[in-house]
Structure 1
């Protein structure tokens, strides 16, 4: 959900998003609003993930997702952070599907690296957040796809984002599957999709029917699939789209294979 497209909707619902985050222990109590029981099943066509199913998934306190790249670095979207530099304001939550669980591991940030090519013709909606201490060794990492070999097929998406376009954030981690959409088909969706950066972005969704998608609050989270060895590999980062789960309007993700080398180099310097 970049500031080009979905981020506009995020700005318009910032108060609701902050209130929902407070319900789940992710925002200042001063901004709290009355809590209500969150939906238990579907979020944009998804179902609830099992505890431990995607252990490298991270929730960030600004209302974005991320994935554990190394013991002390998470990968998220550039549009989730404002700039490169020291930053101790972000809290990363690990190890749970229920954001209210007392078993959650929470670690503060120390530094943010924002892609220098973000919002340019080159694209690059990715960022790294360095943590103040390492994540527990029991939490596995999610490796990046370093070639385009896995930029096809069926992908998995997960997040604590809205259950519907403009809706509230969720308490429980939800999952869904989406199909690869070719660049030509994605561009043919019209509107903002005509400006798709083919070498930097990858599309996925249910073009004929809609109903399955990432949404506000899922930004920065991973899109992933199994590699030839049966291990999870990250192929995308939730970036933008026109609305959520609309028919003929797929989700657009940062193409991780394009930026894997740059991400690896930046991480080595943090």
Structure 2
């Protein structure tokens, strides 16, 4: 079924299921009074930069879909929230074939462009539990005509100063009690809050390094709501130009206008965005369906052609429910980078005293154990050869990272375009503690 034919069905299913992850956090001190049910409190968006805001549906089952918002960054690239495209239960990326994008309209009852996604790129640091680095890019199967929005870079971080006025827009519900997405694109104003205030009001899950928060002060009339996830928070540069400084991420369960809403800080991930945009621009075939990315005729050391290895970013998760990303370089001959998070068990030998059966004092060993969380990222200059086979290819690497941890990663590409393998991280800490993640299996796809 073509993306255009599938889209109306998904839109109808939104009355049954609408994405809830955007409002999946209850603040520590949320107001108990009922929120004003009037984006909530928004007004119809005007043509212009907001014409770049798209409506997204992500199929979650055969009979339901999640509604989200997003922005056009390039003709074939849309920016949205990671939780819109990652399964909440399995933490795996949903198939691109189940994602549809609607653009070119401010009212979904009017004509516009409906296209599908060819690939889904989730930020490698995305943490689904705390909803941090909540960002994803959709590489589209066909170009959109909407003008791209400018994104905040590292030099624009100061724009999100406390008290700065901002604007956000989305296709979400207009009330905390509603289960339907708005048929009109809505917008409303808000105010950026200081990081320490955001942390105090939203709790420990708020990470100021990658997240900012805002509230409609002093009016307390507008708020993000379910379905606004992935939409833009816009700030104004000194020259008057609007730039996207945030991605709608999470807020109160009831869409309370007096509770701050959290946005992924775009300036903190601008490097990753620029890298992905450059990769898409350099690979015209990425606008085609993902299954067409074959490399027939590519050979390595005289082996059979690696017909299933595509030059792409393979993303997935481990059995530890952690994210992993493996980048295959142009030509499908080498792995250009590996990045993953892990959990390792550490045991520290200790000495204690006890009594033997005859009553004499002897020394016996015991252990103290605990868990350590960490992350590994290979150097960008690394190139791991892929040994081509008729069914795909495989790679293995074993090295020490900058902290002295021994890292071993294996991977094999299958005929269905997936990458499966194992990883293991082990090291010894000062004091003699031995830490080991054990052999952890993972699965990823491009």
Using structure 2 for the length normalisation, give the TM-score: 0.49
* Distance (Å, rounded) in 2 between the aligned partners of 1:114 and 1:214: 22
* Distance (Å, rounded) in 1 between the aligned partners of 2:115 and 2:204: 39
C-alpha RMSD of the superposition: 2.6
Shift, 1:228, TM fit: 1.8
Shift, 1:80, TM fit: 0.4
1:228-260 Cα shifts (integer Å, max 9, x gaps): 222220000000012354264200000000011
Match of 1:227? 237
Q: How does 1:19-168 map to 2 (within 5 A)?
A: 25=8, 27=10, 31=13, 42-52=38-48, 54-62=50-58, 63-82=67-86, 83=92, 87-102=96-111, 104-119=112-127, 123-136=132-145, 139-146=146-153, 147=155, 148-152=157-161, 153-167=164-178, 168=180
3-state SS of paired residue (1:269): helix
* Distance (Å, rounded) in 1 between the aligned partners of 2:222 and 2:142: 36
Using structure 1 for the length normalisation, give the TM-score: 0.79
Cα separation, partners in 2 of 1:77 and 1:225, compared to 1, 3 Å: same
Is the 2:167–2:233 Cα contact (8 Å) retained in structure 1? yes
Is the 2:75–2:143 Cα contact (8 Å) retained in structure 1? yes
Rg comparison, structure with higher value: 2
Q: Does the alignment pair 1:173 with 2:185?
A: yes
- Bigger fraction of residues in strand: 2
**Equivalent residues, number:** 235
* Distance (Å, rounded) in 1 between the aligned partners of 2:71 and 2:93: 19
Match of 2:335? none
Gaps of 5+ in 2: 1-6, 17-36, 59-66, 87-91, 281-446
* Distance (Å, rounded) in 2 between the aligned partners of 1:225 and 1:95: 22
Shift, 1:26, TM fit: 6.0
Shift, 1:266, TM fit: 2.4
Is the 1:46–1:212 Cα contact (8 Å) retained in structure 2? yes
Gaps of 5+ in 1: 1-23, 35-40
3-state SS of paired residue (1:194): coil
Q: 2:248 aligns with which of 213, 238, 241?
A: 238
* Distance (Å, rounded) in 1 between the aligned partners of 2:181 and 2:125: 29
Shift, 1:28, TM fit: 6.3
Shift, 1:261, TM fit: 0.5
The structure, 1 or 2, with the larger RCO (C-alpha pairs under 8 Å, 6+ apart) is: 1
